[in-house]
Homo-oligomer: A and B are copies of this chain.
């Protein structure tokens, strides 16, 4: 490079270049170390910069490259997501400037110091997050502050409102728009794929958007993807709902409460749990999806997310408080979360269970069927024409008559059927009982881990298939469950983990935990 000519270099903007690197939820910009602007402006690796051109503006974290093959001295590179977000052509002239930390970090620091925040502050924070002004560490600071000093219920309400406002809102032409949600943590708990067709077959509108698994072996969107296309845009989704009164899609394309998606991508890997963040996350998504009536499932059990009944009750009251203030009709079911639901754990195995129930097959898993009917019944009772207490029977009639199956087939057709996935996988092993007795406990966490090690949810047909449930009698050597995997490395990881600790406890019949839940 020639000597720096300050006057000139400052005026020459850089040419935009797409750098084919996937950096997920973090925008990354690349400058060549020989870029005159780089040295002149005193940029440093990992500092935050603002990139603007043509009326578009994005924020990114700076990486410095020493290789012209990545970015040349007269170019500014952007990682794939950042490039898409800027929405400009390669070669376009762009300006790069230092950016100050987001103003709303002042509010985060006050939260860290123990202050309460107001709705305007939550609005600034969520807006700055959606505009990519926050680094991942800044988001972590906000999340940890929300755990430690906690959010009181007015703050949770404000955060919910602020998160809802960050994105779009779906509008439906109906006075009653039903939705359901489970706070999660129970493997195999795929009731949504039964509840939706039952409720829709009755005639209630239930446009269901779900997430993909982040820490579980399958999300509803993963499991549904075994049967149908799930990554529909808002347009296509509306078309499916107009046609069938329902949908079972992935919510990621609909731009619903996007601040929540971004925060979750930081929160989950940290393994921290902020009750306030969880409530705001769930309710902002439901509000944005246009729900008017919501049934919430809170499973309680020794290895569930919620361990004790009093904790579940407190959560219920918080949800009810926020729901009421937001004009959302909300009911909470506290359910039995002491073991996985159904038999399959993993997308294809769970889809198999769901289809067995819909087809009224004799060997369909009974617990999955009963729980789905109970939840669907409660939603049916949102309908003013359904008498209190009649929902369960109504749901059962819809299922047994085959109307639920027909509705599911209509939804699958409208979304676009998937190429069929085998419910089996090339590598399998049965994990067997080490002694005779009764199954007294099943560890949801351990089964989740084993199914994920086996390859779920990435490999749709990987996972765990349960043969025994709580209270079942076993002989020594009886298979407890089967692990199935696509690839040897995954298979060995999962098998080793299961052989070390099966997740099952075998004991005496009277050691099986009692269950006092609604369901």
Instruction: Give the B-binding residues of A (Cβ under 8 A).
Output: 6-7, 10, 19-26, 28, 30, 33, 39-42, 44-46, 63-67, 69-70, 79-80, 101, 105, 109, 112-114, 135-141, 143-145, 147-149, 265-266, 269-272, 455, 458-459, 486-490
Contact = CB atoms under 8 A, between A and B. Distances in A.
Contacts of A63: 21-23, 28, 79
A487 B40 contact: yes
A271 B44 contact: no
Nearest to A214: B44
Nearest to A135: B269
A144 B140 contact: yes
Given A148-B145, A489-B10, A271 B21 contact: no
Nearest to A266: B137
> How many identical subunits does the complex contain?
2
Contacts of A149: 148
A139 to B, nearest CB: 7
24 contacts: A7-B488, A10-B487, A10-B489, A20-B70, A21-B30, A21-B66, A22-B33, A22-B45, A22-B64, A23-B46, A24-B44, A24-B46, A41-B490, A42-B455, A69-B69, A101-B271, A112-B147, A114-B148, A136-B137, A136-B140, A137-B269, A138-B140, A138-B270, A148-B149
A66, A148, A459 — most chain B CB neighbours (10 Å): A148
Nearest to A71: B21
Contact of A272 (B20, B41, B80, B109): B109
A495 to B, nearest CB: 15
A112 B272 contact: yes
Contacts of A24: 44-46
Nearest to A44: B24
A46 B269 CA distance: 10
A147 B111 CA distance: 11
A44, A114, A270 — most chain B CB neighbours (10 Å): A270
A69 B28 CA distance: 18
Contacts of A144: 112, 140-141, 144-145, 148
Nearest to A462: B42
A271 B105 contact: yes
Given A21-B30, A22-B45, A23-B45, 9 more contacts: A6-B486, A22-B66, A39-B458, A40-B490, A41-B489, A42-B490, A105-B270, A113-B148, A138-B270
